[in-house]
A and B are shown apart, each in its own frame.
Chain A
Amino acid sequence: MTLHPTTPDFKDNAHQALHDPELQKALGHVQHGFIYKRQSAVERLPEFETLRESARDLKNHVLQNLDLYLETYERNVTSSGGQVHFARTSAEACETIVNICKSHGAKSVTKGKSMVSEEIGLNAAIEAAGMQAVETDLGEYIIQLRGETPSHIIAPAVHLTKEQVEGDFRRVHTHLDGARDLSEPVQLLTEARGVLREKFLAADVGITGANFLVAETGTSIIVTNEGNGDLTQSLPKVHIVIASIEKIVPTLEDASLLLRVLARSATGQDMSVYTTLSTGPRRPQDPDGPEHYHVVLVDNGRSAMLGTEFEDMLRCIRCGACMNHCPVYHAIGGHAYGWVYPGPMGAVMTPSLIGVEKGGHLPNASTFCGRCESVCPVKIPLPKLMRHWRENEFERHLTPAVQRFGLKIWGFFAKNPRLYSFATRAAMTTLAWLGRDKGRFASLPLAKGWTDYRDLPAPQGDTFQAQWRKRQQEARR
């Protein structure tokens, strides 16, 4: 699926999402399950806060020395018999992967979950080259059946109810006996597992993402809860790892630090069920493994973020905690964001990768409640980074004219206290008089954005400062 951003239509997307009863039902799970589980996992680990600081410092160190670690990583992949390909853009990355698949005469390609593969539109490229791409993560598999993109970076099908999934399986899995009960998640899982087993065995190439790339050993690490990553990478004769450049960590020890915060932040597990390390192709003494091992390292705009006010964003380890705790994400789900990365991390990443001209709504559609930053395992100051995008827009005159005009007027009065006092006293006494009967306004010109949804409380009367001055004068008399 190519990823044409619908981010410029964010408001329409959000409107539709708010009026989609199935979506709203499905979103209920995000709002409670993830949060509660993370909270209890964090409470079980007294040093969690310290680990967040260490994780932040580690990722900062990597970003400051990224070239060094990338070269070390490449050297160690090569010495273990693998090959590293650097791709500057989406197109280069897709081309590299398609060429590897073609050179092995591949017909069928299995994939573990990888957000960067969504970012570069890999499935579409594989299919355009005449091969079949099969997603093996259950959530990814479901959305692939539906022709959708992930709505969450770790729970791609979180926007669906189990009834919708049952409907999709009955539609696509034509072998299914109509009488078979598929009403429970475990029954759906069993059905998917049966179908996917055949695909695993038939695959010529397996593609996985990476949670971490370990420089000292040339190892890629993925975590899954389904074990699909293991089958994807060990059964086919070719294994391709696709990862973005900031996934590097110096040592295995460092990877274990990040693993300690990753699953706890993501799903509230102490560890994901499977943590799979892969280093090069199968060695003679190995019982199984691929014959060929490739790593495609994708830049696609990331190196341009280094050294800018957005560098902090490259610490992200893609746990999804920010979106799990985001009131805006809870309200509208992930698809409304219109591109690959939703939620607060998406609100910073999307303008960085597709441009603020297209992605500009996202850093604005935040209440700055700060809950995302408070749970981020690598302490990314997400509201601050969103504010940097707003500054960027303001400087480039991309801020909507009405807002700009309003700010200008407000700024003019705020910077002139005497004028401010005069104008606000006049305005507030008038408004107070107009609203004296009800104490509020059900509609008010220029305040439609507010009064369409809620009443505007009426002011009490004269301003506080004016009343205070009066009282001080009376007291002196």
Chain B
Amino acid sequence: MSPASARPRVGLFATCLVDLFRPSVGFAAAKLLEEAGCEVLVPPQTCCGQPAFNSGDRLSARDLALQVMDAFSGCDYIVAPSGSCTGQMVKHFPELFDEPQLAMRARAFAAKTFELVSFLTDVLKVTSVEATYEGRVTYHDSCSGLRELGIQSQPRALLATVKGLELVEMKESDVCCGFGGTFAAKYGEISDAIVTKKTAHVSESGAPLLLAGDLGCLMNMAGKITRQGKEIDVRHVAEVLAGMCDEPPIAARKEMRR
């Protein structure tokens, strides 16, 4: 086997939010994957169907699941910089199909689909990254990644290898930030109470930078932090691991970069 063909073909599922709001996370993910020896493909893609699935629209969720599986059919692996979308593809795609053929296809798809950071550590056996970040950071465990996929130690292990970076744990880092997809808008007041507790814990940690692995949670927390006028930056963990912190933090203006 030639070295070129030995490179795993990894389909990057950017996720809607990264595609639309923060492409830099997609490029950071691609960089991390390429550095770890993967060939990165970005097939035309839209949404994994989670909003439909969680709103009770099972038929749309099925259509979108099939669309995703078709789009990524030529890939050895499918990797997404999100525990939430990965959870949809890994845990819920197989639940969507009663037909044996489709269910089998969904299970096979799920078996080769991974969240970015855990893919690096658990599949590619990456033990360190070539990145530098001077300062303290704190890490929020997003719910789907944590409880559906068991992602907790992996990002911390890689962050520990970023030169100059010190991870300080906030209280209750494993408690929901109140995002919950459409919940944040449908039950905005309750969501607000939950995210207010979260940003208080972030502040108490003393870290000037908050990281997490899901852009939904990050946009919720960043939006609250700026609304509260707190001096805390917010970024996706992939940006720091890839050493790509050139873009302003989430919800921050260019000159506000700290």
Contacts and interface: CB of A to CB of B under 8 A. Distances in A.
Interface of A: 11, 14-15, 18, 327-328, 330-332, 364-371, 373-374, 387, 389-395, 399-400, 403, 407, 410-411, 413-415, 417-418, 420-421, 424, 427-428, 437-440, 442, 447, 449-450, 452-465, 467-469
A389 to B, nearest CB: 8
B23 interface: yes
Given A428-B21, A439-B253, 6 more contacts: A330-B194, A449-B186, A450-B188, A452-B188, A455-B227, A467-B23
Nearest to B180: A367
Interface centre among A371, A389, A403, A454 (most CB of B within 10 A): A454
Interface in B170-229: 175-176, 178-195, 219-220, 222-224, 226-227
Contacts of B175: 327, 369, 371
A463 B20 contact: yes
* A interface, over-half SS: helix
Interface stretch (B58-66, B103-111, B127-135, B153-161): B58-66
A243 B91 CA distance: 36
Contacts, number: 214
B132 to A, nearest CB: 23
Contact of B182 (A331, A403, A417): A403
24 contacts: A366-B180, A367-B143, A367-B194, A368-B143, A369-B147, A389-B56, A390-B56, A403-B182, A407-B55, A413-B46, A414-B49, A438-B253, A439-B252, A440-B252, A449-B184, A449-B188, A452-B188, A453-B192, A453-B227, A454-B227, A460-B24, A464-B20, A465-B42, A468-B23
Nearest to A437: B253
Contacts of A465: 14, 19, 42, 44-45
A389 B56 CA distance: 8
Given A371-B143, A411-B57, A457 B183 contact: no
Contact of A368 (B45, B67, B180): B180
B8 interface: no
Given A454-B223, A464-B19, A391 B56 contact: yes
A-B residue pairs, 4 tightest by C-beta:
A367-B180, A449-B185, A394-B56, A390-B56
A403 B51 CA distance: 11
B183 A366 contact: yes
B148 interface: yes
Interface residues of B, number: 70
A458 to B, nearest CB: 8
A454 B192 contact: yes
Contact of B254 (A394, A439, A453): A439
B98 to A, nearest CB: 13
Contacts of A392: 56
A365 B147 contact: no
A413 B58 CA distance: 17
B97 interface: no
